[in-house]
Amino acid sequence: MTGDRAGEWLARESDRVARAAVGPRAEALGRVEHTADTIAFVSGLPDARLGELLRFPGDCYGFVLSMEADGLNAVLLDRDSAIEAGARVHGTGDVIRVPVGPGLLGRVVDPLGRPLDGGEAVAAEDHLQIEREAPRILDRDLVDTPLETGLLVADTLFPIGRGQRELIIGDRATGKTALALDAMVNQRHSDVVCVYVAIGQRASAVERVIEDMRAHGAFDRAVFVVAAAASASGMQWIAPFAGFSIAEYFRDRGRDALIVLDDLTKHAATHREISLLTREPPGREAYPGDIFYLHARMLERAARLSPALGGGSLTALPIAETDAGNLSAYIPTNLISITDGQIVLDRRLFAAGQRPAVDVGLSVSRVGGKAQKPALRKASGRIRLDYAQFQELEMFTRFGGLSDERVKARIVRGERIRALLTQQRLSPLRMADSVALLTGLAEGLFDAIPPEAVAALRERLPKRLDAQASAAVRAIETSGELDDEARTALRDVVRSLIASPDAT
């Protein structure tokens, strides 16, 4: 090193030493008394607060879940951490925060924002607390803008509005995740940002969701927050809260976001596991008494904001699993009472080949037609009532033939409705396609063809509409209105398809 460079270095270091603060520094230190699985009982941090982030040896972290008279219970966020009794614990004075911003779009991360897709670290625009207050009533606006799922059964019978909380519930392997994935895929035609949160799911199942979204959806407008079954209980516990904070970043900037929580039944089981390890008194089905508040304070964060706050929205599609179709179990009843409606999937319908296997009688949307485009509302008409009557009449057909012509006509119409509502995965319908199908149904055009032919007709419909009724399609997609001229154009296209089933 030359003399000039050595002098510059010495001057720089001398200046840094002169500006360094000299004197005692206070630091909050605690001690691990004992551990149990991913729970550590810590003493010596009297000023710690609930939810505070703690630093353990080996650069491991945890957070304060509950407090006792002589210490606190901390949940570790790393399953591989080897924390032993006597280890030092440092209080950070801050709570858990998650990175947010456009840099998360198209990424797969864990609940702390660390990449799981092999990419570079997330370029965060800000860091938000995972626990945030829900918008006040005065800060909310009416839910009247549809979030189109591309599923005829949902958009027609149980419309979902932007800012709504619609529960998807059913037994294991009945298509709950597939229904939510279809809703996410359909947002490729909109400006909605999707956030998928995997809680305790198998890694292979999460990979399928990501690959399907990459192949069919707007992957560059989606964020995947993954706390798989192999993750620590603490990571699974914070995952939905972190997902909400990521989605709220976009909502608070006037954009529309959709969050899918897959699933809250496993989240409740994780909360029960952690609470029992921290010696919380168990209640019904061994769940702690705060389980309702846990999910209520989370789902209340989904809302549509008022124009004064930008008018953004956050729609939540929480998923819950039932056992043998028991909707009266503790967690299902809690979630049903918190949300604005539920789409119930039935195992019997799934086994019969009806996909999505939606139970029309038990499903409901408490927003209803207020979040439905006028064209779709006008075209749907009495479809739900007709289908419910068909299901009731179908039960009696097992006891013998029917002689009443009116009853036979209702059976024929109901079979066509069921064929229309049956839809393959990852094949969303545009609103114009749905309106055209419902118009043909209302006109009785499908009564002349067998139910098996409906699926092939539906596949060919979009191309024929674009070719022969493009003006009507544009009018419906832009204004959402259905005038007589557009209705006639759609009806003629459906009629021509039925008349020439082999034409493309």
Q: DSSP of 285-346, one letter per residue?
A: GG-BTTHHHHHHHHHTT--BB-GGGT--EEEEEEEEE-STT-TTSHHHHHHHHHSSEEEEE-
Residue finishing a domain among 370, 398, 429? 370
Residue 174 is assigned to a ligand binding site: yes
Q: What is the per-residue pLDDT across 289-332, written as a single tens digit (0 to 9) for each? A: 999 999 999 999 999 999 999 999 999 999 999 999 999 999 99
Do residues 294 and 177 both lie within one domain?
yes
Residue 171 is assigned to a ligand binding site: yes
Is position 6 within any domain?
Answer: no
pLDDT at 417 over 80: yes
Return the CATH number at 465: 1.20.150.20
Contact 315, 159 (CB under 8 A): no
Is position 187 within any domain?
Answer: yes
Q: What is the per-residue pLDDT across 113-128, written as a single tens digit (0 to 9) for each? A: 999 999 899 999 999 9
Do residues 339 and 441 both lie within one domain?
no
Return the CATH number at 46: 2.40.30.20
**Pairing, β 341-345 against β 167-170:** parallel
Lowest mean pLDDT segment, chosen from 18-27, 108-117, 219-228: 18-27
Q: How confident is the model at residue 430 (pLDDT cuts 50, 70, 90)?
A: very high
φ, ψ for residue 162 (rounded to 5)?
-70, 120
Is position 422 within any domain?
Answer: yes
Contact 27, 90 (CB under 8 A): yes
Residue finishing a domain among 324, 348, 370? 370
Report, as residue numbers or ranges, the catalytic residues.
Answer: 366
Do residues 352 and 406 both lie within one domain?
no
Return the CATH number at 280: 3.40.50.300
Is position 16 within any domain?
Answer: no
Do residues 362 and 422 both lie within one domain?
no
Residue 286 is assigned to a ligand binding site: no
Is position 391 within any domain?
Answer: yes
Please tell me the total count of domains within the chain: 3
Do residues 109 and 57 both lie within one domain?
no
Is position 9 within any domain?
Answer: no
Q: What is the per-residue pLDDT across 232-263, written as a single tens digit (0 to 9) for each? A: 999 999 999 999 999 999 999 999 999 999 99
Residue 315 is assigned to a ligand binding site: no
Range of the domain at 481: 377-499
User: Of 235, 245, 301, 321, which Cα lies nearest the Cα of 270?
Assistant: 235
Contact 157, 367 (CB under 8 A): no
Cα separation, 364 vs 191, in Å, equals: 26
Contacts of 367 (CB under 8 A, 6+ apart): 143, 159, 160, 161, 164, 340, 341
Residue 120 DSSP label: P
Is position 13 within any domain?
Answer: no
Do residues 178 and 47 both lie within one domain?
no
Find the mean pLDDT for residues 449-473.
92
Do residues 300 and 353 both lie within one domain?
yes
Residue 177 is assigned to a ligand binding site: yes
The percent of residues above 90 in pLDDT, for the chain, comes to 70
Is position 18 within any domain?
Answer: no
Q: How confident is the model at residue 399 (pLDDT cuts 50, 70, 90)?
A: low
